[in-house]
Amino acid sequence: MKRNFATPNEPLFLPMTEQGAPSSLWGDIVPAMVSESPATDLALGPPPISAVELVRQFVNHAVFGQPLPAPCHAHPKTGGLLSDPAPRQWQPGSDWTSAASERSARYATVYARTSLALQTAMREWIPSLYFDHPSRLEDLELAQGMIGWRASRPAVGQHVDRLCCDVLDPDMMDRCFFWVERNIRPVLRTLLPVSEKLDAKRRAYFDPRYAKRILARLRCAQRGFQMILKAEEDIITQLVKLASATPQWRIKAQRLPRQTAIEVDRGVERAMATVEARLRRIMPHGDVATTMRMVVIVLTNSFAEAQADSQNKAA
C-alpha cells in the first residue's frame, strides 16, 4: 500500500526542492535550525512520572477509560557542546484514543507523521545530550555517527513498512547521505572549539575541511552511524506497534477485561524495555529517563496533530 503524504504546507512534511535533491525525499528542517524553538518556562512540581508509567496510563485510558496522567514535561539538562534542545510538554487534550490500528485506512498517514515527529525530536535531543563533555569525542565511531545523524534529515519511505531510514535499503541510504553531505559541515564547525584541542591525528576526524573523508567513514561505520539509524528504527517500530495495538485491545477489553489488562501491561513493559535498551546503546552517558519521557510526549502529541489534520480535511 502506498503511503499517503500530507500536503507540502504541513511542517513535518516539507518537500526538499534544492537543486540536486532526490525528488522523492521528504524530511524536516535543517539541523542547524532545530534549536531555534523558543524555550518554555516550566513550573516546578512533583517528581516527573517515568516514561513507562506514562505510556501505561495513556494506554489504559484509551483501552479501559481510566484517568489520564497529570500534565507533564520533559526538560533536558543544559550545557552541552551543541545547542540546547527545547523542552517538550504534554497537556490533556492529546491522548492515544485516536491511535490508528494496523489495518486502518489512517495507519499510513498517522504513523508517517508520528515517525517524522519522533525522528525530528530525537535528532534534536540525543546528539545534544551526547556531546555534554569533550571526552565524548574520544569514541570516534559513535561521535562521528552522532554528527552524521544530526546532519541527516528525517524521512519515511513510500510504503507502510518504511517508517524511517532502512539501512538495508540502498535508495534510502543514498538519499540519507545526500543530506548528510550537505549538512555535516555546520555540525562539525559547532564542535570546532573542542575538536581543535585534540592532537593532530584525532582532530582530522572532526575537521570540516575533511568532510568527504568523514563521510567515507560514516558509510562503513557499522558501530557508529548505521547503529544509530538501526536504533532509531527499532524505537519507532516498537512505539508504533504498541500504539497500533491499542484499538484491538479496546475491543477485546469489552469481552475479556482481565486478560486484556495483562496483555496491555506486558506489551507496555516489552516495548519500553526495547526503547530504553536502544537509547542506552547510542547514548551511554546521557539522560535516558528524560529522553524516554520526551519520546512519549512527542508520540502522544503527534496523535492529536494527526487527528486535527483529518478534521480539517473533512471540513
What percent of the chain is modeled with pLDDT above 70? 83
CA distances from 314 to 75, 80, 310 (A): 36, 44, 6
Q: What is the pLDDT of residues 172-214, one digit of tens each?
A: 999 999 999 999 999 999 999 999 999 989 999 999 999 999 9
pLDDT band at 111 (very low <50, low <70, confident <90, very high): very high
Residue 194 neighbours by CB under 8 Å, 6+ apart: 81, 134, 137
pLDDT at 21 > cutoff 90: no
Q: What is the pLDDT of residues 25-78, one digit of tens each?
A: 344 434 433 333 444 444 445 567 999 999 999 999 999 999 999 999 999 987
The pLDDT of residue 53: 97
pLDDT band at 89 (very low <50, low <70, confident <90, very high): very high
pLDDT at 110 > cutoff 50: yes
Residue 165, all three cell numbers: 531510514
Residue 291 neighbours by CB under 8 Å, 6+ apart: 74, 76, 122, 125, 126, 129, 279, 283
Q: What is the pLDDT of residues 115-155, one digit of tens each?
A: 999 999 999 999 999 998 889 999 999 999 999 999 999 99
pLDDT band at 158 (very low <50, low <70, confident <90, very high): confident
pLDDT band at 166 (very low <50, low <70, confident <90, very high): very high
Torsion of CA 269, 299, 124, 167, to 10 degrees: 70
Q: What is the pLDDT of residues 237-273, one digit of tens each?
A: 999 999 999 999 999 999 999 999 999 999 999 999 9
pLDDT at 84 > cutoff 50: yes
Task: Return the ∠ at Cα 157 (arms to 283 and 231), rounded to 5°.
Answer: 15
The pLDDT of residue 270: 98
The pLDDT of residue 82: 86
What b/e sequence results for 231-266 when a residue is b if at least 16 CB atoms lie within 10 Å of its CB, and e otherwise? bbbbbbbbbbebbbbbbebbebbeeeeeebeebbee
The pLDDT of residue 314: 64
Query: 121 near 294, Cβ under 8 Å?
Result: yes
Q: How many C-beta neighbours within 10 Å does residue 30 have? A: 13
pLDDT band at 7 (very low <50, low <70, confident <90, very high): very low
The pLDDT of residue 19: 42
